[in-house]
Structure 1
């Protein structure tokens, strides 16, 4: 009787165990416990765009995963992503994504600036290009996305109202000759530029791009004569190297110093394009390496 009660009790226990975890001899490699055999769910991955790809649409300040369709750079496209980085510091701690022209993204723009110059093999501002940041959407930001894309975009001009240009081919390694800044026909008065369209250097012109200098990160956007003197002085150094003369010899020529815009300056863009300016005088041919010969003063 005792033996039968043990069997009955064991059978009942086994029946209950079967409902829960199984009973009887365990098969090889099976421990009889189901609850600990489920694989852990993978961690949710945050979408991060790729670098060195091109985009069929014009520049967008916000990059959404649902609209992300990069194309081969040999196909018709607008912008080109030269680098993808991760925001850190105060920018990464914001409750919502910053705007591309917010001061908090200045370190990111500085990184993009260096990467873009390395990507093209020369100062990217030597071309009709603009460098922009694309940032995550609000939904992606809440999900942990902190990436930023560095986007090089070709423009119709960098001196007047501009539009995006569709192009083919990557900017990696070099800038096409037709993209490089050259000579201009400037018009304006009282020290301000009204219009400055590009013109073939073989034709009569009164201005020429001579290069770019990088202003100090702490330098404010110019508003006073003293502010502008700092810009003009540095642009004269660039002009002297371009022409092949001492800096003191450039005092006989005019100079145009062009930080791109107040908005881009606020976001960390410290690049200043510099131009030889002849005011009402004109010349033909480039001033590059001329040592001053042929430049009216």
Structure 2
């Protein structure tokens, strides 16, 4: 089975779609801003806001309800300053930069962040600001993922959110007959499947091995891994999430293993 997990939300933004608007409840001072955005700022973002290349939604105090918080900002590297606004290289840079800082923020490794309901999104300047020379990036942690219809509220700070034993409200499960067809929900809600392990299917410098190799490698590993996680029962059901070349080129090298379990 194949689907995009919550954490790869941002890879859908590589092409920079919907650049003609900057989200809901926009702040005029942020629209077409050339300056680097404020680090630590909180906002009430929606999936529609996150689907846009640039965002100028008003900030709110982090002590109030919010669904997103900016955890990394900066100037794009010199070799990208002459890139086109929708250059795929921008997305690759954002994936590497935002995903690394995302792990540091949450206090988790790559495997754990692929199994959480929170994800990250990145934004660039508006096209007008880009034409005026703006070359910044902004990484936001958001309370949901690619399949979320709405986002959950985040705590006042997400720093260290997954350290130790993470609470089920922040881990991803699925409710439905299969992982592919199921609705992704926090594990604190009723569910049928839980994301329990991941597998690294290649090194960063490897060429994409092809769909069939990734799928079979993932399936075989997950069969053994989920069995071990469940304590080697005689019979058990498992699922797996794997990815195609577009996600590979963006930087992802992991697949996710799911166990059928109501707890």
Partner of 2:43: 55
**Equivalent of 1:173, from 160, 163, 173?**
160
Partner of 1:11: none
Aligned positions of 1:249-288 closer than 5 A: 253-259=236-242, 266-277=249-260, 284-285=262-263
Per-residue CA deviations over 1:238-261 (Å, capped at 9, x if unaligned) read 6477x286xxx6996443222478
Per-residue CA deviations over 1:218-253 (Å, capped at 9, x if unaligned) read 4649632x2202223454576477x286xxx69964
Greater relative contact order (CA < 8 Å, ≥ 6 in sequence): 2
**Which secondary structure does the structure 2 equivalent of 1:126 belong to?**
coil
How many residue pairs are counted as aligned between the two chains?
Answer: 220
Residue 195, structure 1, aligned to residue 182, structure 2? yes
Query: 1:57–1:174: structure 2 CA closer, same or farther, 3 Å change rule?
Result: closer
Partner of 1:228: 215
Query: 1:90–1:125: structure 2 CA closer, same or farther, 3 Å change rule?
Result: same
Q: CA RMSD, aligned part only?
A: 3.8
Q: Do the aligned residues in 1 keep the contact of 2:222 with 2:238 (CA within 8 Å)?
A: yes
Query: 1:104–1:213: structure 2 CA closer, same or farther, 3 Å change rule?
Result: farther
Q: Do the aligned residues in 2 keep the contact of 1:186 with 1:197 (CA within 8 Å)?
A: no
Q: Do the aligned residues in 1 keep the contact of 2:105 with 2:160 (CA within 8 Å)?
A: yes
**Equivalent of 2:62, from 70, 73, 85?**
73
Query: 1:78–1:253: structure 2 CA closer, same or farther, 3 Å change rule?
Result: same
Partner of 2:120: 131
* TM-score, scaled relative to structure 2: 0.65
**Which secondary structure does the structure 2 equivalent of 1:187 belong to?**
coil
Q: Do the aligned residues in 1 keep the contact of 2:122 with 2:138 (CA within 8 Å)?
A: yes
Query: 1:275–1:219: structure 2 CA closer, same or farther, 3 Å change rule?
Result: farther
Partner of 2:72: 83
Structure label with greater radius of gyration = 1
Partner of 2:129: 140
**Which secondary structure does the structure 1 equivalent of 2:81 belong to?**
helix
Q: Do the aligned residues in 1 keep the contact of 2:116 with 2:170 (CA within 8 Å)?
A: yes
Q: Do the aligned residues in 1 keep the contact of 2:34 with 2:125 (CA within 8 Å)?
A: no
Per-residue CA deviations over 1:132-186 (Å, capped at 9, x if unaligned) read 111111122222222211121112x76x554333444221111472533265444
Q: Do the aligned residues in 1 keep the contact of 2:105 with 2:159 (CA within 8 Å)?
A: yes
Query: 1:80–1:46: structure 2 CA closer, same or farther, 3 Å change rule?
Result: same
Shift of 1:201: 7.9
Per-residue CA deviations over 1:25-62 (Å, capped at 9, x if unaligned) read xxxxxxxxxxxxxxxxxxxx940012222113334433
Q: Do the aligned residues in 2 keep the contact of 1:153 with 1:164 (CA within 8 Å)?
A: yes
